[in-house]
Every structure is written in structure tokens, then in C-alpha cells.
A = this chain, B = another copy of it.
Amino acid sequence: MKSKKRVTIYDIAQRLNVTASTVSRALSNNGYVNEATKQLVLKTAAELNYKRNTLASNLRMGQTQTIGVVVPRINQNFFSNVIAGIEAITYQKGYNLIICQSDELHEKEVKCVNTLINQHVDCIVISVSADSYNYDHLQNVLDQGIRLIQFDRVAEELETLKVINDNEQASFEAICHLIGQGYKKIALLEGPQNLNIFRQRKIGYLRALEKFNILVDETIVVENAWTKELGAEATRKLLSLRTPPDAIFASTSDFSALGVLEVATAMGFKVPTQLGICGYSNEAFTEITSPSITTIDQFSVNMGTAVANLYFDELGNKDTSVTPKTISIKPELIVRASSSKKSQV
């Protein structure tokens, strides 16, 4: 029942007493074809409900008009937005998207990348998983002559096109803002330091402290606090210190910041008067918590369009090697109630 034989160009050719070559030329608008013949072919193709077999075509042409995307989690806001951004552009160009998710696992990421290579995608777009410990698989992509674009979480040592956020600057500005609001002792919830984004955010934090001659207090810098639960746990400890911090920068995510807010409220700390909070990512919910949470917008959809445009502008059909290039998108600090001590007073 299933495999009703698909219609091919040979079927059309036979019916019109021409060869497949002619049909192919008519359909692809390539080379000389008599206008009348062409119309006939088109008409017959429509009648027979012909659909081009992209597999065959791609095999012959040596390219697939397909871009493979590997992200840690498809259903994480930031990534699904980036994907949507990529899609907006690739769709216009008639490109397809194969989406893989690494689940933050290096092993799975490697498998995904290999599958994409096997699929002969024209380009692989990736944001690496949190536990990446080497980038051989990405080097491999390059070796196979496949374009590679990294975004957000990137392996800095690989010479590829990259689209990143200026995490350091954003983080720096966030801390400056907190200091400007009068907070004196600012804790940092940091993410896995093997990821560039978290390293950069920490650097921004340190740079801001330095600027204001504040000594770094390692006891209020908490590692790996990047979920709501971990953020909550860290906060419980921080606020139980003899001299607790008066602000917490959840540099990992807004979820973490939410954990901070909930625990702080539960422990009777008034936000923002007794405790300032700043998150990262501008998740939708940050606007509607009470108080609303100060955070950093990453322009995720734009990041996606930037990635796609980069491909078409820089790599597209060019056959030459490409000079590595990094596009940096400036995130925006969004000041909300959770860190507005001055305006509150």
C-alpha cells in the first residue's frame, strides 16, 4: 500500500516522448529547451504530481542547501529563539534546517555533528554543550570542507566564523549599575567556566569591581549555580553569612535569579532595598515577577538572523577559505525593580 511509486523525470519524459535530459532542463530552467516543450513538461509534471527527488539532485550537485544546527536544548528559550531567527533567513533562501540537540552532552554532540556531516549539510551552526572537553569533531567539520559557524557558546581556539554576545561588557555594565545603585557587596553566581560565556561574564564582573576598587571576595563567588534550584541553594548560603552580600548577580540565567528572589523573599530580605538582584537573558517571566527582575537582553532572534546572514554573505557559494571573523552583538541591560534601590528610596 505504502510505496506508491513516485513520479520521476523519466515518467514525464516517456509520456512526452523526450528524454529525461530535456525534462530536467525544462524543470530546472537550465540550458536550451523549446518553449513549447517546456510548457508541456511543466504541465505534465503538475498533472502527474511530480516532486523532485532532492536526494538524487543533491547527490549529483554535491550540495544540499541544508544547514545543520546543533544546540544544547531545543526547548530552551534562548536557543529556540536563535533557531527561529536562523529559520527566518534560511527559509527565504530556500534552505532547509536540520536541528539536533546535544542535551549538554559532549558525546551526543559529537554524534550529532557526525550525522550532519554524513547528511552532507552545507554548513553546521553550533553552540557547544556545557561539558565539551575537546573540539576534534568541529575540526573534523572543517576538514570535510563543511562550513562551520559557532554562536554564543564558542570554542575560541577554533578559527571559524563566530557570532557572540559581548558578555563581558554586559556583565560589566550590570555590575556598574548595581554599584551605582549603592550596593556594596555583590555576589556572583557563575556558570561552568569551560564555557566562554560564563568566563566572560566573570571577567566583566571582576573588571567592574576593579574599576571601583572593590576587593574580590571569593566567599561570595559561587560556582555552577545555573538552575533555579542551584540559584536558590546558593542564595540560602549567601544570605546566611555573617555579613551577607547586599546584591546578587545571577550571571548564569534568569532562572537562577528567580531562585535568588524566591529564597530572599522567603528569608525576609526585602528586594531591592536589602538585596539587589540581576539576572541574565531577559526571560519573559522577569518582567512579571514582583519585584520585576533586572536582567540582560541577548537579542536572541537577532543572533539567529546574524548567523544565517553570515553564512550567506561570507560563505555561501564562495569556494575560497574564509578569514575567521567574529560578530559581537551588544546585549542590553534592562533595569527593573529588583535592582533599583535609589529610585525606591
Partner of A83, one of B2, B75, B319: B75
- The interface residues of chain B lying within 8 Å CB-to-CB of A75 are 77, 80-81, 83-84, 301
Task: Return A269 CB to nearest CB of chain B, in Å.
Answer: 17
A320 near B: Cβ within 8 Å?
Answer: yes
* Total copies of this chain within the assembly: 2
A73 near B: Cβ within 8 Å?
Answer: yes
A21 near B: Cβ within 8 Å?
Answer: no
A334 near B: Cβ within 8 Å?
Answer: no
Query: Which residue in chain B gives the minimum CB-CB distance to A73?
Result: B84
A residues with CB within 8 A of B? 1-4, 6, 49, 51-56, 58-59, 62, 64, 73-75, 77, 80-81, 83-84, 87, 91, 96-101, 108, 114-115, 117-120, 140, 143-145, 258, 284-285, 288-290, 301, 318-321
User: 29 A-B Cβ contacts within 8 A?
Assistant: A1-B320, A1-B321, A2-B145, A2-B318, A2-B320, A2-B321, A3-B62, A3-B145, A6-B144, A6-B145, A49-B143, A53-B59, A53-B118, A54-B118, A55-B55, A55-B58, A55-B59, A55-B120, A75-B80, A75-B83, A77-B77, A87-B99, A87-B101, A91-B108, A96-B100, A98-B99, A258-B288, A284-B285, A288-B289
| 3 tightest Cβ-Cβ pairs between the two chains A and B | A1-B321, A75-B80, A285-B285
